[in-house]
Structure 1
Amino acid sequence: MIDIKTIDFKKGDGLVPAIIQDAFSLKVLMLGYMNEEALEKTMTEKKVTFWSRTKNRLWTKGEASGNFLHLIDIKLDCDQDALLISVKPQGAVCHTGADTCWDESNTSKTAFIDQLRAVIKDRKNNPSDTSYTASLFKKGINKVAQKVGEEAVEIVIEAKDDNKELFMGEAADLLFHYLVLLEAKGYELDEVVDELIERHQK
């Protein structure tokens, strides 16, 4: 988390803009304003609180609707006068009932893949004896590739049945081990995406 003392509240007469972003989809959800008290309450209670310019008081998002914004992280911009706040939203964010204040859908969680990739990379660079992922890297590329093959066969088998729970479990296993394989090879998922983009443009 950030140090409140580093924030320049003076530029905005005691307020700084707070951009609210979904931590998993990276979708921008809303914009609010915080004074020092609102930020302190947000950091203490782990629920986003603003200074309401219309109510002229502290306002915790969701205090009436129950649609709270659960705090994940806070970043300060380069000018030290604006906040980027990552949250896990509980319900709709906009008072209109929309997912965002720009009436956009916020259903995708694919940005979580980048967080998972970062964890996998860390397990490779900073292995521990208790990490399953680190144990895969330790066994070498052949073992990692073998696991991808095994998971691919298992998802094909589950695809022939109608058990969604089992299929999703195998799908998650396959995706995870595929990401581990990419890291073991020293390749980035972005390179795969670039290949798909190039094919799409042809």
Structure 2
Amino acid sequence: MSIYNFSAVRMNGQPVSLKEYEGKVVLIFNGASQCGFTYQYKDLQALHDEYKEQGLVLLGFPCNQFDNQEPGENDKIEAFCTMNYGVTFPMFQKIRVRDEEAHPLFEYLASKLPFEGFNEEHFVAKILLQLLHEKHPHYLHGDSIKWNFTKFLIDKNGNPVKRFESTSEANEMRSDIERLLQS
């Protein structure tokens, strides 16, 4: 099994098989426009711009499961990402990434790459950890998606190879991306 066994719906309503990205290095993430990590859209777009000609593609999946940080409709989400961060990589319609009704792709990714903890030195980590402990302690158990901007790096064969949590910045992924692009 690989990500090629899954499909998702693009912002324009068109269903897409992830087999469309076969042979590419893919970075899949769940995002939100009202999150402490929303600024990562800018850095993710920069990664896309830098490596797209070499075969990297980013796939963004808006999600409203984490403290209602993505309340808008799909058209408003797309406009927000484009106007504020210049997003040009493929964006998909809003989904759930954990618990009931989670998109099967994210269930698969979380099952393949376990949660290894947050970077507690990250400038947003203290706030995030306090919020999780106080309001959502059950999120901290198991390997499910913990928060917005959880990122999964996929090799050219569609296999998940590395998970980066919300507290991982785009620059921290460069060496792994470059290694996969060269393989």
TM-score (norm. length: structure 2): 0.22
Determine which structure has the larger helix proportion and give its number: 1
The structure number with the bigger radius of gyration is 1
TM-score (norm. length: structure 1): 0.20
